[in-house]
Structure 1
Amino acid sequence: MPQSDYSQQQYENDFLSDEKKTEKALEHALDIRKFEINLYWKRATYFWAFIGATFAGFFAIQASNATNKQDLSVLLSCLGFVFSVAWLCVNRGSKQWQENWEKHVDMLEDNITGPLYKVVLTRNKLNGWRDKVRHIITGPSPLSVSKINQIISLYVSLLWALLIWYSLPKFDFNADINWFYFTVVAVSIMACITFFWLGRTYQGGFWHRATIRTTEIKNG
């Protein structure tokens, strides 16, 4: 059974009809949002560790005189590309769940705390060029940290794609196919495709199968 639409009235009946239930739901939504944000940055650290190590390995190989320098360069650049695309996908998935709980907070907070989370307070209007210059250099700006992180992961993915192109031998129609390079690049591209294809959150219904153990005493 696929997902069904959920109306405003259903939401109000399920979560806003009772103040205690609303308060408890708001508390859970805030806690899970905080948990999702913590996971977001832990995942970013995890991927940066792998990507940074791969960058270090790639440039170490480039600076060396290893006999299999090109093979290792292609292998490491493909590995870095897969990790970077995976990081991009994880960033987007984390952002989706973070926004899910932020929207729940938006819906639940009015009768408990008032629109605290929805009301955004900003600085006064800037007056004069000095204030504008000072604001550009040191002032706050409505930038999304998670969106910037997504842009960085996209940039790093494109950078690895360029390093793959740099590492591969010059294309020649008359040259024999290097099956090692072809296989590594093809598997890397397929891995990235499966992130978007099979890595999507399941949107269908769930059915459960249950079994129960039979227990009895039998002597002799």
Structure 2
Amino acid sequence: MPESNYSQSEYEKDFYVDKKHEKALEHALDIRKFEIELYWKRATYFWTFIGAIFAGFIAIQASSVDEKQDLSVILSCLGVVFSFAWVCVNRGSKQWQENWEKHVDMLEDKVTGPLYKVVLRRNAPKGIKENSIHLITGPSPISVSKINLLISLYVTVLWCFLLFNSLPEFSCSAPIHWLYTSLIGLSLVTCISFITLARTYGGGFWHKATIRTTEIKNS
């Protein structure tokens, strides 16, 4: 059963009865904080793997091993897959973080007032001096998570360039290099599966449960 639309009146009926919105707001804030913590833990996880792959790639480039090109292609494919996975994980994490932020927006008014929705900013700078200082050191409405997403996208594109540079020159008369073709094909299929097979399930859930029965048998 696919997802169904959910109206404002249904939301209020489900959450604004018997002061359930107060507890719901508390949970929404806690889960949002938890999602942010997970977001940066995942970033650290991917930075570790991608950094290790990049260090290996640089080491291979500086070496004189016979399999230099093969290893460069293999590491580049790994870099592309892990970097694109990082892009997808960033987008998925951002989606769930925004889900709980929207719940806070909906629930907070009758508990704390519009605390989360009201944004307080500095006065606008005046004159060349204040504008110059603000441009260099002043706050700006920039999303930290979006910057992280753009960095992951940049790293993905960078690995694609490194992969392209690692491949031998293309020639119509040259035989197909099945190792490189297989590696690139596998990497491409894996990346496509991230945005197709790995999407959050939106259907309904019907649980099937079993229970064991146990008793002491009289001898």
How far is the alpha carbon of 1:215 from its aligned partner?
1.9
Instruction: Measure, in 2, the Cα distance between the counterparts of 1:120 and 1:216.
Output: 63
Length, aligned pairs only: 219
Matches within 5 A, 1:1-220: 1-19=1-19, 21-220=20-219
Instruction: Measure, in 2, the Cα distance between the counterparts of 1:162 and 1:127.
Output: 45
Question: 1:102 aligns to what SS in structure 2?
Answer: helix
Instruction: Measure, in 2, the Cα distance between the counterparts of 1:31 and 1:216.
Output: 43
Instruction: Measure, in 2, the Cα distance between the counterparts of 1:66 and 1:163.
Output: 18
Deviant stretches of 4+, over 3 Å? none
How far is the alpha carbon of 1:158 from its aligned partner?
0.4
Deviations 1:116-140 (A, max 9, x none): 0000000002111111110000000
Question: 1:157 aligns to what SS in structure 2?
Answer: helix
Structure 2 unpaired stretches of 5+: none
Q: Which amino acid aligns with 1:178?
A: H
Structure 1 unpaired stretches of 5+: none
Question: 1:219 aligns to what SS in structure 2?
Answer: coil
Instruction: Measure, in 2, the Cα distance between the counterparts of 1:125 and 1:40.
Output: 32
Identity of aligned residues (%): 69
How far is the alpha carbon of 1:214 from its aligned partner?
2.1
Deviations 1:87-139 (A, max 9, x none): 00000000000000000000000000000000000000211111111000000
Q: Which amino acid aligns with 2:80?
A: F
Instruction: Measure, in 2, the Cα distance between the counterparts of 1:214 and 1:114.
Output: 52
| Root mean square deviation, CA, Å | 0.8
How far is the alpha carbon of 1:219 from its aligned partner?
2.7
Instruction: Measure, in 1, the Cα distance between the counterparts of 2:12 and 2:84.
Output: 39
Question: 1:124 aligns to what SS in structure 2?
Answer: coil
Instruction: Measure, in 1, the Cα distance between the counterparts of 2:166 and 2:34.
Output: 40
Instruction: Measure, in 1, the Cα distance between the counterparts of 2:69 and 2:100.
Output: 47
Instruction: Measure, in 2, the Cα distance between the counterparts of 1:125 and 1:185.
Output: 52
**What is the TM-score with the length of structure 2 in the denominator?**
0.98
**What is the TM-score with the length of structure 1 in the denominator?**
0.98
